[in-house]
Structure 1
Amino acid sequence: MSVNGDSLTALALGLLQGPGSNARTILGLVGPPAAGKSTLARHLVAEVERVEGPGSAAYVPLDGFHLSGAQLRRLGLTHRKGAPETFDAHGYVALLHRIAGDRFRDVYVPDFDRTLDEPVAARHVVRPHTRLVITEGNYLASTDAPWPEARRLLRELWYVDTDDALREERLLRRHRDIGRDEATARDWVAGNDHPNGEYVKTGRPRCTRTVTGSGLPAAPNRGSVP
């Protein structure tokens, strides 16, 4: 699939048609690290807004619920950053419940800043008139609590499948961009990103459909300016 994925845009727009079309719909994207989830989510949000108008779609990344460096150090989990236990999963589920049920207020959404290597508050917003929310993250298809509760709030969940070699290339670039040397980057990919990715793959059968992320460019390194 290319980044101009017109067929996927059509599928996303199709979620806004039919009975209950004025209701808010949440579409989930799941896949292993560096599969292209955030790039696809942002592309779909932009395309839906181009057709339906500004604010009609919104982006909600799970990565905004990364535990901060201070909390990872407190818990002794710095070496496992990115694993399921290094997210505020219950906070993420609570936000999805609010997004699903609150159509009268702006709902602010955190993000993860790869330059700071820390979560940041309120980078994104779901407006009262937003009809399609696209959320993405590694663990949305997991059967471990509380992820199934998040899954129940999603209209559909798409698995973003990308060749492992391409994902590794993207991951190495990501780690080099935050200052890790080549050996450290490769050790991190092998010892942390790889096992996390293998865990994510087990959820593929629980997804609505599989889409290909190999043609997507690597997501830009999101700095302090959105």
Structure 2
Amino acid sequence: MLVDDAVALVPSIPGRRVLLGVAGAPAAGKSTLARKLVAGVLERLGPDTAAYVPMDGFHLSNAQLDRLGLRGRKGAPETFDVDGYVQLLRRLRTDRERPVYAPDFDRRLDEPVAAGLVVPPAARLILTEGNYLADDGPGWAEVRDLLDDLWYVDAPLALREHRLLRRHVRGGRTESEARAFIAASERPNASRVERTRAHCTRILVPTPDDTWTDAP
């Protein structure tokens, strides 16, 4: 059971903290897995022992994307504040005396939300997830160096694109607009992410009953 493996990563030494990353293409199910792992660790080890900090909180705002002419590429590596993300991961490693506030991402607003999440000082396991955690691009390679372990969710293309279409339509796009955005942005991003699969220590595939298993 994956929760058992997450619990096994939790340091037994007081004051130590572990960062577990979950990478994968857009709509692979990274956030669902990360949240379930956090819930499972909290149930086993008690309140405040684990926390969830997604990379998506470091999306550039839509105003900044418009300024940079990148709105149509939202979700690409250059549309994130990777330096801010790296600094947060470093702080999570070292600052165990005070709560650490982190940005979240609101899909209804399609915008990051400052200080939407908090990591309590007692947290010993941090789950972070995002597309580019295993990437070698400028800034992103530093992310991998800050993680103690890195898993990859390898969901089938048809499942991912079905989820993306539903996500973008719910977000306000028409079906044709959603399909165009998937073709122009989501697919190229997914191709880049898929090339980083080999950098991850564990490959997980979704099952029909909404769980995950190790890839054969």
TM range (shorter): over 0.9
1:12 aligned to which of 6, 10, 18:
6
Q: CA deviation at 1:125?
A: 0.9
Q: CA deviation at 1:59?
A: 0.3
1:100 aligned to which of 82, 93, 107:
93
Instruction: Count matched residues.
Output: 210
Question: Does residue 133 of structure 2 align to residue 140 of structure 1?
Answer: yes
Name the residue aligned to 1:44: 37
Question: Does residue 198 of structure 2 align to residue 199 of structure 1?
Answer: no
- When normalised by structure 1's length, the TM-score is 0.90
2:172 aligned to which of 162, 165, 179:
179
1:26 aligned to which of 19, 24, 31:
19
**How far, CA to CA, are the matches of 2:141 and 2:174 in structure 1?**
37
1:74 aligned to which of 67, 74, 92:
67
> Deviation digits for residues 64-102 of structure 1, max 9, x if unmatched?
000001100111101100000000000000000000110
Q: Secondary structure at the match of 1:211?
A: strand
Name the residue aligned to 1:35: 28
Amino acid at match of 1:77: L
Identity of aligned residues (%): 56
CA contact under 8 A between 1:166 and 1:214: conserved in structure 2?
Answer: no
Name the residue aligned to 1:221: none
Unaligned runs of 5+ in 2: 211-216
**How far, CA to CA, are the matches of 2:44 and 2:169 in structure 1?**
37
Q: CA deviation at 1:24?
A: 0.2
CA contact under 8 A between 2:11 and 2:17: conserved in structure 1?
Answer: no
**How far, CA to CA, are the matches of 1:94 and 1:38 in structure 2?**
21
CA contact under 8 A between 2:99 and 2:120: conserved in structure 1?
Answer: yes
The verdict on how the C-alpha distance between 1:216 and 1:61 changes in structure 2, with shifts beyond 3 A counting, is: farther
Question: Does residue 115 of structure 2 align to residue 117 of structure 1?
Answer: no
2:119 aligned to which of 123, 126, 134:
126
Unaligned runs of 5+ in 1: 1-6, 218-226
Amino acid at match of 2:127: I
**How far, CA to CA, are the matches of 1:197 and 1:158 in structure 2?**
16
**How far, CA to CA, are the matches of 1:21 and 1:143 in structure 2?**
33
> Deviation digits for residues 81-126 of structure 1, max 9, x if unmatched?
0000000000000000000110001001111101111100112111
